[in-house]
Chain A
Amino acid sequence: MSGVYSTNQFKSGLKIMLDGDPCSIVENQEVKPGKGQAFNRVKIRNLKTGRMIERTFKSGEKVDGADVVETEMQYLYSDGTFYHFMDPESFEQVQASEEAVGDQKIWLKEQDMCMITLWDNVPILVTPPNFVELTITETDPGVRGDTSGGGSKPATLETGAVVNVPLFVPQGEVIKVDTRSGEYVSRVKK
Chain B
Amino acid sequence: MTSWQFQSPLVRLQQRAFLLAEIRQFFGERGVMEVATPIISSAANTDQQIEVFATDAIHPDKQQAYLRTSPEFFHKRLLASGSGDIFEIAPVFRRGEVTRLHNPEFTLLEWYRLGFDMSDLMAEMDALFQLLARRFNLLVDKTQLTSYQSLFKDYIEIDPFNVTDSWLNEFCHGHGYRGSNLSRTGALDFIFSILIQPQLVDLDGLLVFHFPIEQAALAQTNPDNPKTCLRFEFLFRGIELANGYQELQDVEQQRKRFENDLKWRQQHHKNALPLDEHLLSALDSGLPACSGVAVGIERLHMCLIQAEDIKEVLGFHALNS
Contacts and interface: CB of A to CB of B under 8 A. Distances in A.
Q: A and B: real partners?
A: yes
Interface of A: 18-19, 29-39, 41, 53-58, 61, 63
A37 B179 contact: no
Contacts of B102: 30, 32
A30 B194 CA distance: 10
B194 A35 contact: no
A58 B176 contact: no
A19, A30, A31, A61 — which one has the most chain B CB atoms within 10 A of its CB? A31
Contact of B179 (A33, A38, A61): A61
A34 B240 contact: yes
B178 A18 contact: yes
B99 A35 contact: no
A38 B101 CA distance: 13
B232 to A, nearest CB: 12
Contacts of B243: 34-35
Contacts of B182: 37, 58
Interface in B163-193: 176-180, 182, 185-186, 189-190, 192-193
Contacts of B179: 57-58, 61, 63
A66 B219 CA distance: 45
Contacts of B215: 35-36
B194 A39 contact: yes
Given A31-B194, A41-B194, A58-B182, A36 B176 contact: no
B99 A54 contact: no
B49 A56 contact: no
Given A33-B240, A56-B190, A38 B176 contact: no
8 contacts: A18-B178, A29-B100, A31-B193, A33-B189, A33-B193, A34-B240, A37-B182, A38-B49
A121 to B, nearest CB: 26
Nearest to B99: A30
A38 to B, nearest CB: 7
Nearest to B243: A34
A31 to B, nearest CB: 5
Contacts of B180: 58, 61
Interface in B49-85: 49-50
B133 interface: no
B99 A36 contact: no
A37 B192 CA distance: 11
Contacts of A41: 194
Nearest to A31: B193
Given A32-B102, A36-B185, A55 B190 contact: no
A57 B178 contact: yes
B32 to A, nearest CB: 22
A101 B192 CA distance: 40
B178 A37 contact: no
A123 to B, nearest CB: 26
Given A34-B240, A34-B243, A39 B176 contact: no
B194 A55 contact: no
B259 interface: no
A39 B195 CA distance: 12
A37 B189 contact: yes
A56 B97 contact: no
A37 B176 contact: no
A173 B217 CA distance: 73
B126 interface: no
